[in-house]
Amino acid sequence: MTLEWLGYVAATLTTLSFVPQAVKTIRTRETSGISLWMYLVFTVGIGFWFGYGLFLQSWPMIVSNAVTFVLSATILGMKLKHG
């Protein structure tokens, strides 16, 4: 048995922890308490993690970072639109 399951658990937990903030922001469109620079840097960083996961062919990294990228890019877009 490999430790790949550890990656799946970690990816699932960290991605799920991001969902409530994304859902709340999408529902309320309230972004005043969100740092533009933090979300900009975070979204770019997640994009790089996704690319690194592709390079390693690591499905936990690929799937979790793809989902998190979509959510963080959505929030970033809302922050840019709604301030």
Q: Is 3.30.420.40 the CATH number for 34-83?
A: no
Q: What is the pLDDT of residue 1?
A: 56
Instruction: Render each residue's pLDDT in the chain as its tens digit; 83 residues.
Output: 578 888 888 888 988 998 998 899 989 999 988 999 999 999 999 999 999 999 999 888 999 999 999 999 999 999 998 88
Give the per-residue pLDDT at 65: 94
Domain extent listing, the chain: 34-83
pTM over cut 0.75 = yes
pLDDT attached to residue 83: 80
Of 47, 41, 22, 34, nearest to 82 by C-alpha is 34
